Amino acid sequence: MIRRLDLASLSAAERRALLSRSAVPNNDVLGHAAAIVEDVRRRGDIALAEAGRNYGGGRNGTARLPTAEIAACADRVDSALVAALRDAAYNVAAVCRDQRPNDCTVEVRPGVRVSRCWTPLRRVGCYVPGGTAPLPSTLIMTVVPAQVAGVRSIAVATPARPNGAVADVTLAAAALLGIKEVYAMGGAQAIGALAYGTETVEPVDKIVGPGNAWVTAAKLAVAGSCAIDMPAGPSEALVLADASADPVFVAADLLAQAEHGPDSQVLLVTADSAVADRVVAEAMRQLQQLSRREVVEQALAGHGLVAVAHDLEEALAFADAYAPEHLTIHLADPEAAVERVTSAGSVFVGAWAPEPVGDYASGANHVLPTGGLACSTGPLSVEDFGSWRQVQRLTREGLAALRPVVQQIATAEGLDAHLAAVEVRFDGEGAGE
């Protein structure tokens, strides 16, 4: 069921092909999602409702849920679950509080000061998937950093189930966090409504949150008009293991990630063939007990991989080149491996750090880069909910000191107006005076 290969036997072209992937959906999905988004931009609520009926995720009437309906869900959900959601939100907030950027000022030279200033965004939209399972954890992961950042207006969009209702547990999480603006809408049409607004949905400055290929494609389609966090594609996990690893733990970690959906990517990388054999056998045993067995089987058959490296050095190099969304390290010396990691969305170190704890409880964010983007993009954080600006303050003496630099570069570029904007301030004076 799980494809297996020997890394050392791969040609350079085969290795590139293995590493080459993208969080961006195929061109057909990109085109269709862009058309849906454009229709919502032009026709507003009518197009939003039609798309909800045609593609799912909507409900009869207005998409916005009454605040009383949101508040009531907190009472319908088991108190132990509410307590768990509260603990998860507390932990995320604890991590986020240390992420808020600090302003700074640099005096480049006497009379020339440049400041870097950060302020929270005015309004954001948090997309919370709910197609195959409710995800209150994603609501927490997107809303809490926005709140810590100081965003005053937060809208949540999440798909309704076929009966038109949004899962109680998702709305309970919203109520717990004081969110009163929730829309029952999903897919590309939800992204279009958040980005451009409709008669009943106020547009946002930025859209955050994971989603399926249609959501990702729609985020890319609106990116020129509305900021997005990242194009997060299918979920993925890479596990590094050696002979010290417990195959029961390793197999469980792989299956947990495959459970997300049939397009989930799971990789085991090891320099020990015997480890690979034990983990695969254990995964097949555990698979029989899973309620989402069919989904996991599809993920393993379509996107599962066991890669056997020549040695640990090759295994580490491959893992870093792959830049996985989740990287779990089951090695005798995990900390030495962590020091080598430069490209991964979220890293789980050792036998007692299973990936699901990062999805729910550790305080780390589970909105992460996929498709190899972890080589240049990090997890969703407080900084994503604000914007930076530069502020420059110059005295006459400071400008005079920089005048020769502007004269030389503006002249070389042939931009006379640039030069004149400086020179006019020194009319009647000699160059450099």
Residues taking part in catalysis: 325-326
Comparing CA positions, the residue from 259, 260, 278 lying closest to residue 268 is: 278
Backbone angles phi, psi at 399, to 5 degrees: -65, -40
- Give buried/exposed letters for 273-290 (b at 16+ CB in 10 A, else e): eebbebbbebbeebbeee
Per this entry, what is the length of the chain?
A: 433
Distance between start and end Cα atoms, the chain:
78
**Which amino acid is it at 228?**
I
- 8 A C-beta contact, residue 355 and residue 375: no
Rg from Cα positions in the chain: 25
**SS percent in the chain: helix, strand, coil, step 5:** 50, 15, 35
DSSP string, 406-418: HHHHHHHHT-HHH
SS3 297: helix
- Cα dihedral 310, 314, 319, 321 in deg (nearest 10): -130
Do the Cβ atoms of 262 and 298 come closer than 8 Å? yes
- With beta carbons less than 8 A apart as the criterion, state whether 244 and 331 touch: yes
Nearest residue to 213 (alpha-carbon basis) of 190, 188, 195, 194: 188
Contact between residue 326 and residue 358 where contact means Cβ atoms under 8 Å apart: yes
**Residue 202 φ then ψ, to 5°:** -80, 135
6 C-beta neighbours (distance < 10 Å), count:
11
- Cα–Cα distance, 261 to 264 (Å, whole number): 5
Fill in the DSSP letter of residue 349. Answer: E
